[in-house]
Structure 1
Amino acid sequence: MSTAPPANAGQDTPTRAPDAQVSVLIADDEELTRTGLRVLLASKPDLDVVGEAADGAAVLPLAVRLRPDVVLMDVRMPRLDGIEATRRLRSELAEPPKIVVITTFENDEYVYDALQAGASGFVLKRAPAQQIAQAIRLVATSDSVLFPEAVRRLASGRPVRRDAARKLAVLTRRETHILRWMAKGLTNQEISVELTVSLETVKTHVGNVLAKLGAQNRTQAVILAYETGLVGTGATGL
């Protein structure tokens, strides 16, 4: 894993094969939490815990050495919090791992900041084992937004960013429709069915949306859609 800036900034990495094993790095300052997560994930044959970090400062060097597909990242850690650790992974590695924030509190400002820094989604520490495992699998595929309703709730109550509306103006009409479907959490395959176009066409549109918005992943694009008012934060806002 190189430390050069990513050449494909603004775009998700290609979708992984659904049956490929996913390597995971656990980053949490509580040893009991790390142990519990390791045991939980060890029971899933398609998930492989390759290492643990006890603080945020250890995440980047471990990611360089171990090359995990996904980092399960606590947001509150000593020396370096999960937000800055996420930002460094995304900015300093040519092929950064996907990042799932794991947190105690759902409506946590730290979580929102981590998503803006480049995390693909988040999951609660108290979530069922299967949900945590599925969250890791989902972000590894780069094909949907992790828990779009939770992202919507995090974005609710924030003022509409009129200054960012010009970013959306560069999207074509079709790309704007694609972004709306992304905000609903649809996969590329589901979007292709809704729009009756090929899967490859949808993938091209999604890549264009991310590149034009300067978004590192689908979640960042969806957050921008909420912050600019393209989609609403109410239950029927989409």
Structure 2
Amino acid sequence: MEVSSLPELAITGFGRAAGGSYGNVTIDGAGKVDAELSCQSFVVNGTARVSGAIRTESFEVNGKMTGKGPLHARLVRINGQVHIEGPLSSDEIKLEGILKLDGSCDAEKFRVHGGFTIAGMLNAGIIDILLHGRGQVKEIGGEQIKVKLGESRSLASVFQWVVPVFAQHLTAETIEGDEIELEETTASVVRGNRVIIGSGCTIGRVEYQSELRVHPGAKVKERIRC
């Protein structure tokens, strides 16, 4: 079926709709979709809940959204709070707010100004995290991994629906990549080619190939050059 023949879905105010295949899906207000959804674009300005998987080219949330199932989108933009009860796969993820995933996250680019909880693995070529809240993930794998501390202002001043504000710190079991630069991170193992351990870090073991730099205020129990 061609994209032009697909119906549009627009919810304004309060409403609900069946799942299925659509061209563009827009929710302005509070909306619910009762089954899995396939569409060209998915935009929420307000609050939404989708009771199934979402497959779309473009996914954008300005507000709060929950999805019961995996999310597959070429581009993901989140300005607010999103909870996906499953994995997320995308070419590029831009997060300003809070993301919670009950599965793993796979992307080419993962850019965060906020906080996140990922039950599984975060795997991306470029990972750029500016912590404005808590980050929690089982494992991180990528080529370029950068974790920095954001400004010391609460997310609540920007996203009033995000309560409470979590500590600005990342926790992971394993972080593995080529170029790694970390701040305010706790991890059991960090493994990479060039590794910079910055302020606020507590690392059990660092395995590196060409270079390791450790901030005087960071704690690294074991350092191994491979």
| Structure with greater proportional helix content | 1
**Please, what TM-score do these two structures have when normalized by structure 2?**
0.31
Does 1 or 2 have the higher relative contact order (CA < 8 Å, sep 6+)?
Answer: 1
| Structure with greater proportional strand content | 2
